[in-house]
């Protein structure tokens, strides 16, 4: 719930067009739920983003777009092990679906 408050506050402060959310959950479903929350609003209606559609784009740390944007040595050190044990393709598919459906930016 606190993360929802942080995202909402940062979006209000800097503008939604200037915010990009990076997620790191280990499962596609969990990543998708978090991505949907910051783009379409909290589907559980339990947090600060309940009914608040920010339209923010969300990416997972294992997605190619993120991986290509960071230093390869840092990526390998921080994410490399995770990339070997999660279903990268399922996560990417889930994230792309959420972005295409709800992201405004």
Q: pLDDT tens for residues 76-94?
A: 999 999 999 999 999 999 9
What is the Cα–Cα distance from 48 to 43, expressed in whole angstroms?
Answer: 11
Please choose, from the candidates 4, 92, 2, the residue with its C-alpha nearest in 3D space to the C-alpha of residue 56: 4
Mean pLDDT of 16-20: 97
DSSP annotation of 18: G
* Segment holding 99, helix H or strand E: helix 88-102
What is the Cα–Cα distance from 50 to 43, expressed in whole angstroms?
Answer: 7
Predicted TM-score (pTM) of the model is 0.93
């Amino acid at each position: 719930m606190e993360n929802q408050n942080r995202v909402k506050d940062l979006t209000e402060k800097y503008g939604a067009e200037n915010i990009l959310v990076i997620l790191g959950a280990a499962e596609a479903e969990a990543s998708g739920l978090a991505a949907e929350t910051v783009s379409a609003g909290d589907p559980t209606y339990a947090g600060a983003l309940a009914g608040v559609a920010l339209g923010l784009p969300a990416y997972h740390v294992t997605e190619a777009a993120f991986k290509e944007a960071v230093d390869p040595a840092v990526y390998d050190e921080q994410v490399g092990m995770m990339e070997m044990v999660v279903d990268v393709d399922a996560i990417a598919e889930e994230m792309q679906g959420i972005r295409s459906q709800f992201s405004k930016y």
